[in-house]
Structure formats: structure tokens, C-alpha cells
Amino acid sequence: MSLAEPLRFAAGLLATAVGLVALLLLCAAVATRLIAWRIEARYPAAGRSVDVEGGRIAYLEDGPVTGARGTIVLLHGASANAYDPMEGVGRHLARSGFRVIAFDRPGYGNSDRIGGVDAASPASQGRALGQALDRLGTGRVILLGHSWSGALALRMALDRSEQVAGLVLVAPVAMPFPARPLPWWARIALTPPVTWLLTQTVAVPIGLSYLPSLARSVFKPEAAVESYIAASRAPLILRPGPALANIQDIAGLPAALAEQAPRYETVAVPAVIVAGEADPVVQTRLQTDPLSRAMPQARRVVVPGAGHMLTYTAPDTLVREVEALTVAIAR
């Protein structure tokens, strides 16, 4: 047998394997489009929008416009959209007399991904949302940032202090992470072309299968709110665009925190940091505690036994803190 025959056999096997992988990716891409179509039909995203430089920002609004006790802007965390904080603490604040605006961050819900290569940074997103506030004519607002958006709220207070009257940081991610090398597979997955390919093919179907268990896990150690997935419209993240934005935002956050954290002591507006004592997602000792030391002027509130989803499990506590902050601002 000549050497050419084994080579032809190996080449045939390789071509078959490549063809099978391509077929699987094609099937996954079709499944992704079908899942996204069904999600958009079942869970419409925020309907209102405002034009800003580079695109549009979608938002929800509740509560009085005239005679309001103040304007609260809700900034959602990772893997979420404007409905997440609005259907939790937002409705409670509106019933208490506040004007409440919840934005879809750039790339999430119905908002365009604005900012180009810098779109994942709190600075870029803060610029876009600041322009949205200007267009809406809100005047100075209280920012309530949950989880990832703790960093965003802080960045807006640093860069746009004329717009920000106060901060409510809920289970915030704000302090730099210890440097840890990523495993090889994660480095490959986070390469931009690979990340794009994954979100167009396998990421959405895999995410759909894990969504119920992930939704329960973010509430631990507390029981999950039964209606959370539907109320928050959490499946909206299972579309290629938002899925890609989410991965980029999470991957880019460590560098952004390292850049902005040294400036937290210069935040001049009244602030309160609210954390869950038993939060397994954003551990209080690793984030809230050092953030409190970096911002000694901020009030620190730790809710006993609470987890990460304080916007749903402790809305009354958050309303009280907003009310107290409003009094402090008015002095």
C-alpha cells in the first residue's frame, strides 16, 4: 500500500469531521434564530426609546412626572434588561411617589449597542445614558445600580456629577478583582471572532436550557421569586446581540474597575451601599466592605440572611434607603 492511500483516508476523515461540525453549527444557528424569534414574540422589550449619539436607548417609566418626590433611575445588572429592576423595586418606588425610569443598557433589551469598541465599558455606557437623561429633561437624578451597574452608577457620578444627585448601590460590583489567569478554553472563547460565533450558534440554546436553574441560583440562599423569569423578561438575554454584549461587558469589567476604583474617594454625592449578608454572587466581604472603606462617606446597609436579588427580596428596605437619601440630598 502506498503512502498516498493513508493520506487520502486521513484527508477524508478530516473533511467529514469539518463537514459535521459545520452542519452542527448551522443547525445551532437556525435554532438560535428560532429561539430569539419566539422570545421576542413572547417577551416584548421596553417600548419607549430616546435617540442619543450613535443610536437609541430604550426605557420604561412609572410613577408621577409632576409632583414626584424625586427621579430614580434604575440600572440593571448583567444578563438582564430594564424590566428586571422595574418589576422588583421599581414599582414599589413608583407607588411611593417617585418618578422611576429604568433603562435598557446599551446592547440589552431594545437598546442599540452604542460606543463601538468601547461599548463594554461603564464610561461608554454612562455617556450614552447621560445623553438619554439630557434628552428626557430629568434634571438631577438618584441612580440605583444593581450588581454590574454598581460600577456604572459610580462611573456616572464620577463623570457626570451635574446629573447625579445621589447613589443607591445594590449588591454592587465596584472593586477590582484579584488577577487570575484564565484557562486556555476561556481565552479562546473570549477571542472576539470566537465569541461572536458562539453567540450566533451554541450559546443561546445552551443558555435556554440553563435559564431556570440560573434564575434560582441568583436568589440563593433565599427562595427564588416564582414569577421572576416572566416578570423580569429574563429570556430577552437569549438573543445573539444581547448575549454578545453581556459577555463583552463581563469580560471587560475588571480593567474598567482597576481604572476607576482609585477615584471613588472623590465621589461627592450622598450614597448608600446595600448588600446581602449571604450574597454568593457578589460577596459582601469582597465588594461592599472594601467599597465602604473607599467611600467612607457612604452609608452601609447589610441585610441579614439576604442574597443577591435585593431588588426583589428586600424592596421595602431599598425604598426606605431611597427615601432617607432624598432627605439627605434636600438638606
pLDDT band at 115 (very low <50, low <70, confident <90, very high): confident
Side-chain half-sphere CA neighbours of 302 within 13 A:
14
Measured on CA atoms in the order 9, 14, 17, 23, is the torsion positive or negative? negative
Least confident of 31-40, 86-95, 148-157: 31-40
Of the candidate CATH numbers 3.90.79.10, 3.40.640.10, 3.40.50.1220, 3.40.50.1820, the domain formed by 45-178+253-330 belongs to: 3.40.50.1820
Between helix 192-200 and helix 240-260 the angle, nearest 10°, is 140
Query: Using alpha carbons only, how large is the chain's radius of gyration in Å?
Result: 22
Contacts of 73 (CB under 8 A, 6+ apart): 101, 102, 103, 129, 133, 138, 141, 142, 143, 144
Residue tagged 439627605 (cell numbers): 328
Chain centroid to Cα 265, Å, comes to: 24
Question: How far apart, in Å, are the Cα atoms of 323 and each of 96, 275, 327?
Answer: 9, 17, 6
Q: Is the pLDDT of residue 10 over 70?
A: no
Domain boundaries, the chain: 45-178+253-330
pLDDT at 31: 78
Q: CA-CA distance, 224 to 125, in Å (whole number)?
A: 30
Question: How far apart, in Å, are the Cα atoms of 319 and each of 132, 169, 174?
Answer: 24, 13, 22
Q: How many CB atoms lie within 10 A of CB 185?
A: 8
List beta partners, residue 164: 141
pLDDT band at 177 (very low <50, low <70, confident <90, very high): confident
pLDDT band at 11 (very low <50, low <70, confident <90, very high): low
**49 in Cβ contact with 110 (< 8 Å):** yes
Rounded to the nearest 5°, which phi and psi values hold at 167?
-130, 135
Question: How far apart, in Å, are the Cα atoms of 222 and each of 243, 307, 314?
Answer: 27, 6, 11
Question: How far apart, in Å, are the Cα atoms of 246 and each of 105, 260, 295?
Answer: 10, 20, 28
Residue tagged 449597542 (cell numbers): 113
Q: CA-CA distance, 249 to 247, in Å (whole number)?
A: 5
Cis peptide preceding 221, ω within 30 of 0: yes
Measured on CA atoms in the order 75, 78, 81, 87, is the torsion positive or negative? negative
Q: Go through the chain and tell me how many residues it has.
A: 331
**172 in Cβ contact with 282 (< 8 Å):** yes
pLDDT per residue over 121-150, tens digit each? Answer: 999 999 999 999 999 999 999 999 999 999
pLDDT at 18: 58
Of all residues in the chain, the percent with pLDDT exceeding 90 is: 76
Residue tagged 454578545 (cell numbers): 244
**Mean pLDDT across the stretch 177-198?**
81
Query: What letter does residue 238 receive in the DSSP assignment?
Result: S
**43 in Cβ contact with 36 (< 8 Å):** no
